[in-house]
Amino acid sequence: MKEKCTEEVKTRMPYAAKLELQRMAHEAGMTDSEYVRAVLMIHIYGKEEMINRHISSLEVVANRGQS
């Protein structure tokens, strides 16, 4: 089961960096928040762990309704 995101992290950054963040998020098809969350989670837990969590979530969805 996916853990609910309840905590907030705020930071200040230069305007040019914010624009770059928005560009990168848009390229990835994500909101700024989704992109920053993904970057931080990968940094904390590692790329492989985050990929495995995503795959596990997709498998639950894909197996719904199958007997």
Structure tokens at 36: 């920053």
- How far apart CA 25 and CA 27 sit, in angstroms, is 5
- How far apart CA 53 and CA 14 sit, in angstroms, is 32
Residue in this structure with the two tokens 């089961």, named with its chain if needed: 1
pLDDT, tens digit (0-9, with 9 covering 90-100), for 12-42: 999 999 999 999 999 999 999 999 999 999 9
Give the N- to C-terminal CA distance of the chain in Å, as an integer: 20
Q: How confident is the model at residue 67 (pLDDT cuts 50, 70, 90)?
A: low
CB 37 within 8 A of CB 50: no
Would you say residue 63 has pLDDT above 60? Answer: yes
Domain ranges of the chain: 15-62
